[in-house]
């Protein structure tokens, strides 16, 4: 898959764009139904850290490439091939590990993330 850049951020499995205060992050593994393997979870963590540092981003839209699924969730095929140690490391890559939650970045079903100052 082609590498995409936003600033200095190299992404293989995501597409990150920004227009004004709105950033759009697209999971870009449609052949795998945008399943979250270790590489994609690491990229998500990097992208979210980058967006949190950018005071101009007020909304993050997360979507999935392809027409079959937003995301299948965890990449079960990748997990089946992991050793116990790799599986343990993989379990620490999820959203709860990306950064400490703050009032400026929280999600609710069907709504965007926004600063409480708005």
pLDDT for 23 equals 92
| pLDDT over threshold 50, residue 1 | no
Q: Quick one: average pLDDT of 39-67?
A: 89
Give tens-digit pLDDT for 61-83.
999 999 998 998 888 888 788 78
* pLDDT at position 116 over 80: no
Please give the radius of gyration of the chain, using alpha carbons only, rounded to the nearest integer: 15
pLDDT of residue 95: 65
Residue 57: CB atoms within 10 A of its CB come to: 18
pLDDT digits (tens, 9 = 90+) for 79-111: 788 788 877 777 777 766 555 444 344 444 344
CA 6 to the chain's CA centroid: 14
Superfamily of domain 4-96: 2-enoyl-CoA Hydratase; Chain A, domain 1 (3.90.226.10)
Q: What is the mean pLDDT of residues 13-23?
A: 92
The mean pLDDT value for 43-54 works out to 88
The pLDDT value recorded for residue 96 is 60
Residue 7, phi-psi category: left (phi > 0), alpha (psi -120 to 50), beta (remainder): left
């Amino acid at each position: 898959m082609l590498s995409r850049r936003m600033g200095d951020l190299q992404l293989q499995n995501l597409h990150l764009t920004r227009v004004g205060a709105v950033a759009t992050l697209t999971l870009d593994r449609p052949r795998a139904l945008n399943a979250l393997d270790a590489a994609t979870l690491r990229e998500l963590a990097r992208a979210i850290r980058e967006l949190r540092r950018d005071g101009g981003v007020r909304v993050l839209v997360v979507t999935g490439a392809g027409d079959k699924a937003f995301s299948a969730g965890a990449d079960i095929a990748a997990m089946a091939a992991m050793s116990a140690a790799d599986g343990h490391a993989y379990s620490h890559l999820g959203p709860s590990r990306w950064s400490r939650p703050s009032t400026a970045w929280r999600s609710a079903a069907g709504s965007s993330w926004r600063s409480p100052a708005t």
